[in-house]
Amino acid sequence: MSHGGDSSYLVNGAAESERTRREGAASGGDGDPHTILRQVFGFDDFRGQQEQVVRHVIAGGDALVIMPTGGGKSLCYQLPALLRPGVAVVVSPLIALMQDQVGALRQLGLRAAFINSTLTFGGARELEQEMVRGGIDLVYVAPERLTQPRFLELLDQTPLALFAIDEAHCVSQWGHDFRPEYRQLTILHQRYPDVPRIALTATADEPTRRDIAERLQLESARRFISSFDRPNITYRVVVRDNPRRQLLRFIRNEHAGDAGIVYCLSRKRTEHIAAWLNTQGITAVPYHAGLDAGTRQANQRRFIEEEGVVVVATIAFGMGIDKPDVRFVAHLDLPRSIEAYYQETGRAGRDGLPADAWMCYGAGDVIIHQQFIDNSEAPEQQKWIERNKLSALLGYCETTLCRRQVLLRYFGEAYDGPCGACDTCIMPIERFDGTELAQKAMSCIYRTGQCYGSAYIADVLTGARNERIIRARHDQLSTHGIGRDLPRKKWLSILRQLLAAGLIAVDPAHGGMRLTERARPVLRGDQPIWLRADPSMPVSGKAGGGPKAAKADSGGAAGAAAPSVASALTGEKQKDLFDRLRALRLELARQQNVPPYVIFADRTLLEMAATQPRTAGQLAELHGVGQTKLERYGEVFLDAIAEEVG
Ligand code: ADP
Ligand code: ZN
């Protein structure tokens, strides 16, 4: 992308922003967060805790903000950046992320820039002068650059509005993207104690959160923790029979013309699947770490700058991609853990419009993962942890409960459910009263001392007499062999389901299973527990059908590329208008070499197609239409609407 750091861009941006501001003031923009939200960002309301965060930071407070992907973290520092005097400095780990954000902010008419190695010497000098003058709203910088003495000297002379530390989990070794340079960021607090700091992350687990607060010296910062629920994502797991055909059917029936990500385990497979999708009329590109940098970049760029491209990728793809209109994330292979699954599926639907998380799951995956763990060089302790994570994920695949409930509970969040937007809620699976089986399994866990893993418990239940069991004298227990009438595999599945239901828990220290409080009423017989009739069949053979089968008319044939979001529109006329507006958006994006979504979000185009505004005033009321965008694009879009509607 070229909305880079050339200084001409900066000067344009600055001029426009000042104009916006003057007009804002003239029309009553008096520094009220709500006014700025409408005038600059084009949004009517704050989302979730945004308003509390924004007000806290504007007042000069430190904040630790934990929000899921797509929750709207950026606004939490972008809006205060406009309302506090001086320059806001945003620390970000990846150049791609900085470019995206700066590009989008400039479209809003803000004075934003990034400082990194792609800047020319002259460009950097000019930018530095602007900073010292306070002639810039937001500056994005990588942590290693920020902590250089030269840059700190520059900051000493710059009027500072705030520091925002994005992707703050990078400071923690517990997290998944540890960046040692983040550790140096404590200097901000020491050197500029009066400048508010706001750290943001989508990390769900508590040890990492605690680590962030400690490492960044934000112990006394106010914490804003949001729910991790992603209500617009529908979760679905189908049993694998013919994965290619299942994937094809899913895309054709529900996501023709949509952008999406398909995750595969191996590099080779990503290439095969991508090539094959293309032969079926679906535009797809592969992405994995083994491709040369040029190809990788080109494929990523197509995904971001074109519309309706599918990326078939290994887990190497995703970090630093914040494309808001990804309509589906499909897993053709089992992910590594629930954390990984949630992170990967979280890339769908950042814009808040409906999106799908679809997984195709087969017993073979389990074996591959198990062997992978068994054969790894990792210490035994680590292997235990990995096995438990795998086990929790399988529990998720096989659950009869609301999937959202299982996911959120895994992250320690109480969620009562049912959500009504996952496959188990929409098409309840056949279940049977498994109370007695659950009691048998749980007494066996109890009698063996609550310190063994599921394989061992299943062995004891089925009456195995291996060396370990005999040495522990567990062949003498009353529970030894009480589960003989079921195959071992079934017991493993029951144990996973109990784990998923929260009746048993795994001790992270030694990997043994123990009973939880929730087990008590089931053991006493006060509460029944329902199990999946055929545990190896998560959704009974109806792969590809699923919750949205009803709207399968949205383009059965290849090439009919009506995006799924358009199904919210009524009538051909609205759909035609939407297509036309989309084409206009793409043309404008190409001219400026920016992704289409920074011109207008899908939601904005949907609202245009549905309400068909005639005047600038009507247009300005729509989602995402702030003053600058109205000035830049209002006329062309109004013309297109008038022409199409007549
Ligand atoms: P995160 O960084 O938490 O993943 P973003 O800051 O990228 O999320 O925001 C996700 C999407 O939500 C963006 O498309 C953004 O424009 C939109 N958004 C953020 N805040 C609001 C709001 N108050 N109203 C409407 N849309 C919003
Ligand atoms: Zn549900």
DSSP-assigned states of every residue in 255-303? HTT-EEEEE-SSHHHHHHHHHHHHHTT--EEEE-TTS-HHHHHHHHHHH
Q: Which two tokens stand for residue 209?
A: 């959160």
Residue with the larger pLDDT of the pair 481 and 11: 481
Overall average pLDDT of the 466-478 stretch:
94
Atom from ligand 1 closest to the CA of residue 202: 3
Please report, rounded to a whole number, the percentage of residues in the chain having pLDDT higher than 70.
89
- pTM of the shown model: 0.79
Atom from ligand 1 closest to the CA of residue 76: 6
Please answer whether residues 16 and 607 qualify as being in contact, where contact means their C-beta atoms are separated by less than 8 angstroms.
no
pLDDT the model gives residue 173: 77
Q: Which two tokens stand for residue 247?
A: 């994937």
Name which of 431, 401, 398 is nearest 416 in CA terms.
401
Q: Write down the residue that tokens 């023709």 correspond to.
A: 256
CA angle 365-504-426, nearest 5°? 60
Please answer whether residues 71 and 350 qualify as being in contact, where contact means their C-beta atoms are separated by less than 8 angstroms.
no
* CA gap 545, 264 in Å, rounded: 21
pLDDT the model gives residue 553: 35
Residue 471, pLDDT above cutoff 80: yes
pLDDT tens across 367-381, in order? 778 778 888 888 888
Distance 235 CA to ligand 2 centre (A): 8
In this structure, the residue with its CA closest to atom 23 of ligand 1 is 46
Overall average pLDDT of the 158-177 stretch:
88
pLDDT tens across 434-461, in order? 999 999 999 999 999 999 988 899 999 9
Residue with the larger pLDDT of the pair 513 and 27: 513
Please answer whether residues 369 and 248 qualify as being in contact, where contact means their C-beta atoms are separated by less than 8 angstroms.
no
Give the β-pairing of 138-141 and 197-201: unpaired
- Counting ligands in written order, which one lies closest to the CA of residue 235? 2
Distance 402 CA to ligand 2 centre (A): 4
pLDDT the model gives residue 241: 82
Residue 547, pLDDT above cutoff 90: no
Please answer whether residues 631 and 645 qualify as being in contact, where contact means their C-beta atoms are separated by less than 8 angstroms.
no
pLDDT tens across 11-51, in order? 334 444 444 443 433 333 458 999 999 999 999 999 999 99
* CA gap 438, 442 in Å, rounded: 6
Q: Chain-wide mean pLDDT for the chain?
A: 86
pLDDT tens across 248-277, in order? 999 999 999 999 999 999 999 999 999 999
Please answer whether residues 24 and 202 qualify as being in contact, where contact means their C-beta atoms are separated by less than 8 angstroms.
no
pLDDT grade, residue 104 (50/70/90)?
very high
Q: Residue 228: which residues within 8 A CB-CB, separation 6 or more? A: 68, 204, 342, 408, 411, 413
Ligand 1 neighbours (beta carbon < 6 A): 43, 45-47, 50, 67, 69-75, 322, 324, 350-351, 601
Overall average pLDDT of the 200-204 stretch:
84
Q: Which domains are seen in the chain, by residue range?
A: 8-225 (3.40.50.300), 233-382+396-426 (3.40.50.300), 431-544 (1.10.10.10), 565-645 (1.10.150.80)
pLDDT grade, residue 202 (50/70/90)?
confident
Q: Helix axis angle, 403-410 relative to 338-345, nearest 10°?
A: 120
pLDDT tens across 126-138, in order? 999 999 999 999 9
Judged by phi (left if over 0) then psi (alpha if -120 to 50, else beta), residue 511 lies in left
pLDDT the model gives residue 273: 97
CA angle 104-113-325, nearest 5°? 20
pLDDT the model gives residue 555: 35
Q: Residue 646: which residues within 8 A CB-CB, separation 6 or more? A: none
Q: Is the four-CA dihedral 613, 47, 324, 253 of positive or negative sign?
A: negative
Q: Residue 230, SS3?
A: coil
| Substitution site in 53, 75, 602 for ligand 1 pocket (most atoms within 8 Å of beta carbon) | 75
Please report, rounded to a whole number, the percentage of residues in the chain having pLDDT higher than 90.
62
Least confident range of 141-155, 349-363, 523-537: 523-537
pLDDT the model gives residue 175: 62
Q: What are phi and psi of 152, to 5 degrees?
A: -65, -35
Q: What are phi and psi of 572, to 5 degrees?
A: -65, -35
**328 burial via Cβ count (<10 Å: 0-12, 13-18, 19+):** buried
Please answer whether residues 181 and 148 qualify as being in contact, where contact means their C-beta atoms are separated by less than 8 angstroms.
no
pLDDT grade, residue 239 (50/70/90)?
confident
* CA gap 254, 327 in Å, rounded: 10
Distance 324 CA to ligand 1 centre (A): 9
